[in-house]
Amino acid sequence: MCDIMPHMSEQATEHLIIPRHVAFIMDGNGRWAKKRGLPRSAGHKAACERLKDVFLAVKEYGIPYASLYAFSTENWNRPQKEINLLMGYLMDFCERDFPHLAKEGVRLLHSGRRDRLPSKTLLSLDKAVNSSKDNSALIVNVCLDYGGRDELANAAKRYGEDLLAGKVKLEEMNEETLRHYLYHPELPDVDLLIRTSGEERISNFLLYELAYAELYFTPTYWPDFGKEELGKALEAYQHRNRRFGRVSA
C-alpha cells in the first residue's frame, strides 16, 4: 500500500473501499499560473506534466479505471493560441510520458470527437492507444473534444441509424441499450468524480456515467494535485453511504 494516507493506520488502509472508476476534472490551471505570475500556458503545461504521477498513484491504489476531462467541446471557444499550446502539451504527454505508463501496464482509450482534433495530436493519441491495447493494469479514458450531451446525441443518432436499418427494435430501447452506443460502453459507471480548483459542478462531463457517482471537490489546483490529494479524496469516499435509491440497512 502506498503512503498517500500517512495519517491512517496500516490496518485501516488494508480495508479501504476502492472505487472501480474514478473520473477527474482537472481545473484551475490558469489560476495556478496567474498566482505565480506566469502565463496561462504554463499552467496547462504543468497540468499535463502532472498526469503521469496521478495515474501512477491511481494504479498503485488498485483502481482499475480512470477518466480524465482533458478538453471539452466548449473549450474550442478559447483563444486559438491557447488551444494550440494545449494540444501540443497533450501530444507531448502521449509521446514523452505515456510510454512509461504503458510499461506499467496502463492502457489508453479516447472518448470524444475526432474530426476537429489537429492531425498531429490525433496521430500521437492513436499511437498511444494502439500501442497499449493489450494492457490491463489500469484503463485510462482520456476525454478529448468531449461533451456529455454530445456523447448522448451521438448515441441517439447511431441508435436511430440502426433502427432504420432494422438492426434493433424500438421496444428494446432502454438504459442499457443506450449504453451500448456510448464511446466506450465497456467502462463501468463512475464511482467517484474528483474536481480540482474549488469549482462545484460537473460541466457536461460523462452525464450518463455519473448518474450515481460520489462527487468530491477540492480547492487544490490540478498542477498541485498528487498522491496526498488523491488520498484525501479516497478517504472521504470511505464515509459515503452509497444507496443507489435503496434504503440503508
Q: What is the pLDDT of residue 92?
A: 95
Is 2's pLDDT higher than 60?
Answer: no
Per residue in 12-61, pLDDT tens?
Answer: 456 789 999 999 999 999 999 999 999 999 999 999 999 999 999 999 99
Structural domain includes residue 245: no
Whether 27 is catalytic is yes
Q: Is residue 51 part of a domain?
A: yes
Which residue in 3, 29, 53, 75 is the catalytic one? 75
Q: How far apart are CA 217 and CA 225, in angstroms?
A: 12
Say which DSSP state 93 is in: I
The domain in which residue 37 lies consists of 19-147+189-237
Structural domain contains residue 170: no
Please give the average per-residue pLDDT across 159-171, as a whole number.
96
Q: What is the band of 8 on the pLDDT scale with cuts at 50, 70, 90?
A: very low
Average pLDDT across the chain, whole number? 93
Number of domains in the chain: 1
Cβ proximity of 28 and 217 under 8 Å = no
Is 153 a domain residue?
no
Residue at 111 is within a domain: yes
- Sheet-wide strand order for 65-72: 106-111, 138-146, 65-72, 21-25, 192-195, 214-217
Domain assignment of residue 160, yes or no: no
Residue 49 lies in a domain: yes
- Burial (CB < 10 A; 0-12, 13-18, 19+), residue 83, is middle
- Give domain status of residue 165, yes or no: no
Residue range 128-141, pLDDT digits in tens:
999 999 999 999 99
Report pLDDT for 1: 39
Q: What is the CATH number of the domain that holds 26?
A: 3.40.1180.10
